[in-house]
Amino acid sequence: MSGYDVPRFGHGSRVPGWDQAADLTKDPAVIPDSATTLVPETLRAGIEAAMAKYPERRSAAIPALHLAQELHGWCSPEAIEQVACVMRLTPAYLISVATFYDMLETRPKPRNDVFVCTNISCSLLGADEFYEAMVAAAAEDPDVGVRSFECLGACDIAPMASVNGEYVGPLETEDAAQIIEDLRAGGPVLEAKQLRFRRSVDPGAVGP
């Protein structure tokens, strides 16, 4: 389900050893000891605030992992350990959660995320070509990770992409280089094509 790819044979079965990372001679990791686990104060406060919102603290797992990923760049073993310590859960439990979701990364990732939608509506309008162009444009830049993504819920601006959460479209292949440039400059990305400024197309929806 996530970016974590299990190696598979052509027919779909998992390649033996795909799960060999676990060292079975060691005991499974237990809930980290809060006396010896160092957790950055902001992260601890954020996770505790999230836990306080729910009747059961475990509900804060995804928000907590989001926070840890923001701080560490990815859900690294260290990040997982810190979340586990504050939430009083085992690291294994949190890894099982993190690997389920596309936006949580259990492998190191570049700082900037470009999610290019290649689902049906976008691909009808050239998303696959744009994806290739985006991959090529980002090839030299270690800070930009390009991923093809499922429908991002913005097929009205197809083909589109989410750049660090900012939705932009409709995209043409030339926009790929511009996105990289805007990311390097650190300002808004492709401002003229941002979804947030798009007005309703429904002629009946104009103001009262």
Partner 1 sequence: MSIHILFEGIDEPGLNRLEVYQRRGGYQALRTALAMSREDVLGELLTSEIRGRGGAGFQMGKKISFLPRGDMDKYLVCNADESEPGTFKDRELMQKSPHMLIEGIVIASYAAGIGRSFIYIRGEYDYQADILEAAIAEAYEAGYLGEQILGSDHSLSLVLHRGAGAYICGEETGLLDSLEGKRGNPRLKPPFPAIQGLYQGPTLINNVETLSTVPHIIRMGAAQYAEIGTQTSTGTKLVSISGDVQRPGNYEIALGIPSREIIYGLAGGPADGREVKLWFPGGSSAPVLTKDDLDVPYDFDSLAKAGTMLGSGAIIVVDDSHRVLDVAYKLAKFYAHESCGKCVPCREGTNWTVKMLQRIEAGEATPMDLDIMASVQDEIIGNCLCVLGDAMAMPVGSIIKKFRAELEEHIEAARERAGIGSLENVIPVGVADAHAGPLPVH
Q: Which of ligand FES, partner 1, none lies near 167, with the C-beta cut-off 5 to 8 A by kind?
A: partner 1
Q: Which is nearer to partner 1, 58 or 184 (CB)?
A: 58
Interactions with partner 1, residue window 112-171 (CB under 8 A): 115, 118-121, 123-125, 150-158, 162, 165-167
196 binds partner 1 (CB under 8 A): yes
201 binds partner 1 (CB under 8 A): yes
Q: Yes or no: say if 134 and 148 are a contact pair by the CB < 8 Å rule.
A: no
Beta carbon of residue 181, minimum distance to ligand FES (angstroms, whole number): 23
Written as six digits, the tokens of 41 are 């104060």
24 binds partner 1 (CB under 8 A): no
Q: Which of partner 1, ligand FES, none lies near 24, with the C-beta cut-off 5 to 8 A by kind?
A: none
- Host H or E run for residue 50: helix 41-52
Residue from 128, 122, 189, 192 nearest 157 by CA: 122
Residue from 66, 150, 59 nearest 105 by CA: 66
34 binds partner 1 (CB under 8 A): no
206 binds partner 1 (CB under 8 A): yes
Q: Yes or no: say if 169 and 191 are a contact pair by the CB < 8 Å rule.
A: no
15 binds partner 1 (CB under 8 A): no
* Backbone angles phi and psi of 182, in degrees to 5: -65, -40
Q: Yes or no: say if 169 and 154 are a contact pair by the CB < 8 Å rule.
A: yes
Pairing of β 161-163 and β 144-149: unpaired
Beta carbon of residue 171, minimum distance to ligand FES (angstroms, whole number): 11
187 binds partner 1 (CB under 8 A): no
Measured distance CA(49)–CA(64) in Å, rounded? 10
β-partners of residue 168 are 161, 194
Residue from 168, 163, 119, 122 nearest 141 by CA: 163
Beta carbon of residue 17, minimum distance to partner 1 (angstroms, whole number): 19
Q: Which is nearer to partner 1, 53 or 139 (CB)?
A: 53
Q: Report the interface residues with ligand FES, using CB under 6 A.
A: 117, 119-122, 151-155, 158, 160
Q: Which of partner 1, ligand FES, none lies near 160, with the C-beta cut-off 5 to 8 A by kind?
A: ligand FES
